Amino acid sequence: MRTEPVSRRRRIRMGLEKTEKQNARILVCLSSSASNAKVIHAASKIAAAFHGSLVALFVETPAYSLMPDDDRKRLRSNMNLAENLGARLETVTGDDVPYQIAEFARLSGMTGVVIGQPNTVGGLLRRKKSLTDRLVAYAPDLDYFIIPYYGTKVYVARKRTERNRKRILADCAIFLSSMVVCTAIGFLFSHLGFTDANIIMVYLLGLLVVSIFTTHRAYSMVWAVISVLLFDLLFTTPRFTFYAYGTGYPVTFLIMLAAAFTISTLAIRLKQNAGQSAKAAQRMSVVLETDRLLTKAASREEILSVLASQLTMLLNRSLIIYPAENGKLEDPVFYPAAGDTVPYRTNEEKPAVEWAFSHHKRAGATTDVFPKTDYLYYCMRVQDHAYGVVGVAVHDSPLDASEQGVLASVVGECSLALENARNAREKEETMVLAENERLRANLLRAVSHDLRTPLTSIMGNADSLMSCGETLDAATRRQLYSDIYLDAQWLNGMVENLLSASRMSGGKLDLKMTTELMDDMISEAVNHLSRQLKSYRVVRSVPEELLFVKADARLIVQVVINLLDNAVKYAPEGSAIRIDTLAAGNQVVVRIADEGPGIPDDQKERVFDLFWSSGNPTGDSRRGLGIGLSLCLSVIRAHGGTISVSDNQPHGAVFEFSLPRDEVNLNE
Amino acid sequence: MNKPLILIVEDDPPIRNLISVTLEAHEYRHIVSGNAANAILETASHNPDILLLDLGLPDMDGVEVIRKIRSWSNMPIIVISARTDDADKIEALDAGADDYLTKPFSVDELLARLRVTLRRLNQARTDTPDTAVFINGSLKIDYAAGCAFVAEEELHLTPIEYKLLCLLARNCGKVLTHKYITQQLWGASWENNVASLRVFMATLRKKLEVSPDTSLLIQTHVGIGYRMLRAADG
């Protein structure tokens, strides 16, 4: 069975494949044997000598589930050792160890493999080829470093734990009951006068049942022998002896035995593969699902919630996630697993979290660093940048190797996603900054140009009044005074707009949203322009109900001022300006209609553009600065509303904007 | 009452000049001051009737000046501020200012504010503190009976509306911030209270619309608060 190592995809995405390939990449295999430590040390030295990176691989075989606790402990300590020596841990599953190693090495571009080899002098028992020989056969291109070791007895007699004892009892029960049932059926068949072949079939069927439902193949083997003996004893004439008269019987027995062995071997392998595939497939699917979800998640919060949900699904353990921003850990989010009632001991756990975060390594339970904690902590990092720490509840049941492998993969994926999100955010910020900068530059240019016109008029008029005011007649003087006043007033309006615009730049960052009565804001705008509006008929229609909007009052007042100002600019004196407020669904609509010339259809799209103005856009006309309407557009958009312009009947323009309506819960 | 004395506190000479020329033209007595320390001294020694105070002073924040003066005097203070943020005005009003003017302001506006304040001053001098009836144009509030009338017609007000009306009446001529009003009405100033206040204000106004001279009695200051005007000031 092949498991594509997740780490490879990760590296490709990181874009490091190329650079790393030039260096040596050394693979060392982890095992539960005590001598494995020596091999790991040697591998680390080799990797250092080649200036290469080290990957520690554990091949999880079907036998792993039967591994006694002592061995598991040793395996974990070997894993920790490898990690402390700078190796990256990986796990693959399969029953053919050399094949898995070779596949992994090929797929992740390893250049060398370090393996330990027991130096058994008496080669008599070496019936099959050694691991090294088979590995070389699978992957002849790799460099091999063989670390011999003497005499360390790898296998330590298994302790029969309580769990094992239970299992053995269950297996024996299955075995014996199958035996009884098969024999009973055999007697029934023989009583009914069926041929021996049927009885043999029944025993073979029983064998299949036993090999599938018991945990060890010894049961199948014993069944094979006993079933032949029973058949001989019970069903061949003479009955109840081990003799058999028929000349063919010895052959039958042999074939039956051979068939039994073959079937049991096949059945057991099938069962193991199925179990392993299911487990591996589930883990793979979690990793793939994580990948898929991460491509959708954009924000840091989304990524962390994907991480939490995937790890919960995978491990069914309590989780705690400490996100980090700007190199500082933030408050954690706790995801308790169902049934986990052990409280989180922040004071005891925190040092492990801090350590994992600052050293970019694992820490906590089952590691050498702060092993007394309840949780195992992984640092989410990409290269030198740490994005947070994930803690997995260990309590008294350590994670197995493949769980750790997948956990590391998922955490790695999420770290990458966090980095991508950060990069995207930074890129976006730079772009927004650049865009703002461009806008600001344009604005400054336009503003300074447009400010000059009224300033020239003010300075010139004041100057002539100062130098030769006495010689001018009263009407001329009055004209000059009023020009100064109007120009100053125009400048003031401009400054108001610029102030509003400065609050708008950078999106809707500085909006002070409060619940406001639309009519209050319109009244304020009308008051503000009372001097200009004196010579117009202002007609207002106000609905019966109170229309509230959630808005930055200052800015909305400015919008209404600009729209009214626009009407005053274009409509002839004495004409009517209508202001209607109405509710349309969940929107509040304000309509300002004038009786001016209106706006031609081809220019309606462009009225809200910055710096646009009707007539002569490049001339020195003081109407040149289109900032007013463009400000209206950005303000209304920032409030989640819309603004548009249409024709008034028989002539004139109608500006209409809408804002989301707000409800008020009365507080009596 | 004699001609009132007005203290102008403004550090910018052209604006100081503009104000004093205007006041002179309208025959108000006035003294000027260019900084906060001097302003406090002048206030203590001359006891002016009205203080026109610029918020941006070189030696002290204007709001601080208000707090200092409020520690011993209830004289009306009109704040003059460059339009930067409503928050500055609200802070000044909450510190005890009576009204505010935004730069650039017109001369008419300045004079109108002075008239409003002076009228309030005169009213306060004629009213005894425990006046049981408040009269403003055709609006009459009978505090003892707990009811309000417009043109002798009783208004049907909810308890909150009545409280609100009384609050505005007691501070007639003074701008009351949202925060102040909500604190007086509900004891707390939450966002939702401010929104509720707008509703009650709108319904109260609708009820006051029965007479033309009371329909515009309550002024809205968007983003800041409300003020009741004297009927003659509208």
Helices (H), chain B: 13-25, 36-46, 62-70, 86-95, 107-126, 159-170, 178-186, 191-208, 212-215
Residues of A in contact with B191 (CB under 8 A): 514-515
Q: Show which of residues 68-97 on chain A sit within 8 Å of chain B, judged by CB atoms.
A: none
Alpha carbon separation from A65 to A69, A169, A275, A278, A279 (Å, rounded): 10, 18, 11, 14, 12
Give the tens place of pLDDT for each residue, B186-216.
Answer: 887 676 788 888 889 988 988 888 877 777 8
- Token pair of A356, please? 């994992």
Establish if B14 touches chain A: CB-CB under 8 angstroms: no
Q: How far apart are alpha carbons B194 and B200 in whole angstroms?
A: 10
Stretch(es) of chain B classified as CATH 1.10.10.10: 133-228
- CATH of range B5-126; options 3.40.50.10490, 3.30.70.890, 3.40.50.2300, 3.40.190.10: 3.40.50.2300
Q: How far apart are alpha carbons A631 and A502 in whole angstroms?
A: 10
**A553–B196 CB contact, under 8 Å:** no
Establish if B86 touches chain A: CB-CB under 8 angstroms: yes
Please tell me which of the candidates A557, A662, A664 has its beta carbon nearest to residue B196.
A664
Residues of B in contact with A521 (CB under 8 A): 222
Q: What local confidence, expressed as pLDDT, does residue A536 receive?
A: 92
Q: How confident is the model at residue A9 (pLDDT cuts 50, 70, 90)?
A: very low
Stretch(es) of chain B classified as CATH 3.40.50.2300: 5-126
Number of inter-chain CB pairs under 8 A, A vs B = 55
Of A429-438, A443-452, B124-133, B219-228, minimum mean pLDDT range: B124-133
- Token pair of A539, please? 């007609």
ipTM score of the complex? 0.82
Are residues A370 and A355 in contact, defined by beta-carbon separation less than 8 angstroms? yes
Alpha carbon separation from A60 to A78, A244, A254, A551 (Å, rounded): 14, 47, 36, 62
Q: How far apart are alpha carbons A62 and A48 in whole angstroms?
A: 33
Please tell me which of the candidates A546, A554, A557 has its beta carbon nearest to residue B199.
A546
Q: How confident is the model at residue A192 (pLDDT cuts 50, 70, 90)?
A: confident
- Token pair of A297, please? 């998640």
Which residue ranges form the domains of chain A, and what is each CATH number? Answer: 6-149 (3.40.50.620), 162-279 (no CATH), 302-426 (3.30.450.40), 508-662 (3.30.565.10)
Q: How far apart are alpha carbons B182 and B177 in whole angstroms?
A: 9
Q: How far apart are alpha carbons B40 and B72 in whole angstroms?
A: 11
Establish if A462 touches chain B: CB-CB under 8 angstroms: no
**B198–A499 CB contact, under 8 Å:** no
Residues of B in contact with A492 (CB under 8 A): 104
Establish if A282 touches chain B: CB-CB under 8 angstroms: no
Can you tell me the mean pLDDT for A300-329? 85
Residues of A in contact with B199 (CB under 8 A): 546, 548, 664, 666
Please tell me which of the candidates B192, B202, B220 has its beta carbon nearest to residue A546.
B202
- CATH of range B133-228; options 1.10.533.10, 3.30.499.10, 3.40.50.720, 1.10.10.10: 1.10.10.10
**B83–A523 CB contact, under 8 Å:** no
Give the tens place of pLDDT for each residue, A610-630.
Answer: 665 555 444 444 444 467 888
Can you tell me the mean pLDDT for A500-517? 72
- Token pair of A267, please? 């059945």
Q: How far apart are alpha carbons A558 and A541 in whole angstroms?
A: 20
Strand partners, A583: A588
Establish if A664 touches chain B: CB-CB under 8 angstroms: yes
Are residues A215 and A167 in contact, defined by beta-carbon separation less than 8 angstroms? yes
Establish if B196 touches chain A: CB-CB under 8 angstroms: yes
Q: How far apart are alpha carbons B58 and B55 in whole angstroms?
A: 10
Can you tell me the mean pLDDT for B21-36? 91
**A554–B223 CB contact, under 8 Å:** yes
Q: Which residues contact A200 (CB under 8 A, 6 or more apart)?
A: A231, A252, A256
CB neighbours of residue A409 within 10 Å: 23
Q: How far apart are alpha carbons A412 and A402 in whole angstroms?
A: 15
Give the tens place of pLDDT for each residue, A369-391.
Answer: 888 888 889 888 887 888 889 99
Helices (H), A193-237: 196-213, 217-230
Residues of A in contact with B206 (CB under 8 A): none
φ and ψ at residue B82, rounded to 5 degrees: -75, 140
Give the tens place of pLDDT for each residue, A105-141.
Answer: 877 778 888 888 776 544 444 455 677 788 888 888 8
Nearest CA to A627 out of A445, A354, A432 is that of: A445
Please tell me which of the candidates A496, A499, A524 has its beta carbon nearest to residue B220.
A524
